[in-house]
A and B are shown apart, each in its own frame.
Chain A
Amino acid sequence: MTSTERRPADFDEYWQGALDELRGYPACPEIDAIPLRSTEFATLHGVRLTSLGPYRLFGYLSIPTGRGPFPAIYYAPKYQSVLEIIPQGTANRQRSRYITFSLAARGQRNADTPYAAMFPGLLTDGIDDARSYVFRGIAADSARGLQFLLTRPEVDPSRVIVVGNDMALISAASQPGATHIVTTPQLFHDTVDLAPRTRAYPLEEINDYLRAFPARAADVRRTLGYYDLRAFAPRVSATALVMAGASGAVPDATSLESLLTALRGPAILHVSEQSSYGDGLFIERWMAEQAGIGDPEEILPEHWRSGARD
């Protein structure tokens, strides 16, 4: 870890406090079938549940037709306003083999009352004070989502994959039960030092903020110390796939080395092929292999299948 983002001495207390607070609010899930998005191979449900605050969240839970238990994919909250059932471009048939659960954290559409996040804007909302930084709540939301998924009797607890950006790793560190993670660090890896190397959002939010409020730089650095992925990594025993940007991207494989070595469980790093096809296919096959799905072809998008390029 760089000198600017050392693990705060009270890192454990900070997060224990958040999780203790979360425990004070029962999830109280409401689950309603959504016939429009249900098929012969999967039933979709809308789920409302409570998180720290209290704050009411929303998620999409899809359960395959047939006898479980099934492997599960938890799509942790993304850095975007909308909530997808499964990520755009994923074969809908993925829902025939996996339970999928995607969650909107506070501020995202369907969970934007009373707090509607701005994009860009979310990454720096309250960033000058770790106690009120919006991601303290979002991290709790993401942990709550994983907790909820694990309560489902259809889930095979030996095959629970958490997929997402930084929230995937933070959730797996905060809440037991993830057996695998696929993480694409975007927000909280060496943030203060890497942000100046890019002009692309969301990290550009940090540059904007520090340009506008230079006197708050130390506070921002202090807050981000509680969120740096390397501080969470020793708590992650799940098998991990870490997706890195191509050379020169932020973050790239070189900058992610320290994260990879800090993870407690087995981990591999995949460097982006700068192709959503190449990267997407790698992830789909890796997840299928880890989940024991022998023939993933039928749950790939049509244009990714083996015969599609002949």
Chain B
Amino acid sequence: MPRAIADYESTVRKPDDFDAFWEGVLRQAAAVPLAPEIIAEPLRTSDDVLVYQAFYSSLDGVRIAAWYCCPARATGPSPAILYLPGYQMDPPIPKDWARKGYCALSVAPRGKLRSLRQFNPGYPNLLTYNIVDRHTYGYRGFYVDAWRGIDFLLSRPEVDPARIGVTGSSQGGGLTITSAAMRPEVRAAAAGVPYLCGYMDAIELTRTYPYEEINDYLRMHPESRQAVAETVAYFDGINFADRITCPIILNIGLQDNVCPPETGYALFRRIRSADKRLYPYDGHGHDGGRQKHQPIVDGFFARHLASGPRGAAE
């Protein structure tokens, strides 16, 4: 592995009012009733997995859709997984997590399919939507939508509130970082190839979409570079990392063509948790060594979330 990748020093600096900014956002979000709702989805339900469409309200009153799956034969409170989606992907139905014994919520934050009636920045475009204003930047609500997934899980009687984990890859990895940072209910986190970490580093390290959206924007609006840098500093996963105290694992690909591995190392160094481990995969790109890594993720969550009233997920 090239030393330059592992030793890369991020240019990200945390704004002085970072915590105050997010406290203000959370105050606004708290004023919106969650109004959770589930609707059975018989077409996708099978003997081993119950599938539901889920909905809840988030910042600005935006209604968020999700898929919610539960083990069909659970007899008591189950551990839960909050699954967060990639930038390009359609949020999947998390049947595989339910088959492993978890109640699993797969969120479609605003702008994603099924959550785009009130907010639709188009594709590509989310990354630069109102990027010169942190108070209206597209990811402001998008982040909160992910975090409110925890509230949805806490509203469910079949979920053990002491055993909630969060995971996802790429954008889902970045959202895993911010969720673990902002929600103390998260007991374990597994972030894959995290996006939204080192925004301004990444646009120099790689010239591929989605980060290329920012380069496109700056080519059109070169005068806005400082405003862009100031905004994304409030949203950069690296700046959330020192709030993470739960056990956490990260996997990155050393040939990642989407989220530069340099930013993964920079993020990892900033994570405060004492129980943290980085898995770098040489010979892998944005897949982050998924095939080899998934058993590690399964074992990690089983270790941290299994012990409970029913000992599920073992």
- Partner-B contacts on A (CB < 8 A): 35-37, 39, 80-86, 88-93, 109-110, 118-120, 199, 201, 204, 208-209, 211-212, 246, 274-278, 280, 301-304, 308-310
Contact residues in B for A39 (Cβ distance below 8 Å) = 219
Interface residues of B (CB under 8 A from A): 2, 42-44, 46, 87-90, 92-93, 95-96, 99, 113-114, 122-124, 205-210, 212, 216-217, 219-220, 253-258, 260-261, 282-287, 289-291
Q: Which of B2, B220, B287, B291 sits near A310, CB closer than 8 Å?
A: B2
Subset of 17 A-B contacts with CB under 8 Å: A36-B220, A39-B219, A81-B90, A88-B209, A88-B210, A91-B208, A93-B207, A109-B113, A110-B123, A120-B93, A208-B43, A209-B43, A211-B46, A275-B253, A277-B255, A301-B208, A302-B260
Q: Which residues of B contact A209 (CB under 8 A)?
A: 43
A280 & B257 in contact (Cβ 8 Å cutoff): yes
B284 and A275 contacting across the interface, CB-CB below 8 Å: yes
Determine if A109 and B206 form an interchain contact, defined as CB atoms under 8 angstroms apart. Answer: no
CB contacts between A and B, total, < 8 Å: 125
* Chain B contact residues, majority secondary structure: loop
Chain B residues closer than 8 Å to A309, beta-carbon distance: 2, 254-255, 282
Which of A201, A204, A246, A302 is close to B207, meaning CB atoms less than 8 Å apart? A302
| Interface residue SS majority, chain A | loop
Contact B287–A275 (Cβ < 8 Å): yes
Task: Give chain A residues whose Cβ lies under 8 Å from the Cβ of B2.
Answer: 308-310
Instruction: Write out the residue numbers on chain A whose beta carbons fall within 8 Å of the beta carbon of B261.
Output: 303
Query: Do A89 and B208 form a contact, CB below 8 Å, given A80-B90, A109-B123, A277-B285?
Result: yes
Cα of A234 to Cα of B206 in the assembled complex, Å: 41
Give the shortest distance, in Å, between A127 (CB) and chain B (any CB): 13
CB of B255 within 8 A of CB of A308, answer yes
- 16 other contacts beyond A91-B208, A120-B93, with CB at 8 A cut-off? A36-B220, A39-B219, A81-B90, A88-B286, A90-B208, A118-B114, A212-B42, A276-B284, A276-B286, A276-B287, A277-B253, A301-B206, A302-B257, A303-B256, A308-B2, A308-B255
Q: In whole Å, how far is A62's beta carbon from the nearest beta carbon of chain B?
A: 12
Known contacts A35-B220, A83-B123, A89-B208; A201/B92 CB under 8 A: yes
CA–CA, A82 and B205, complex, Å: 25
Chain B residues, Cβ within 8 Å of A85:
124, 209
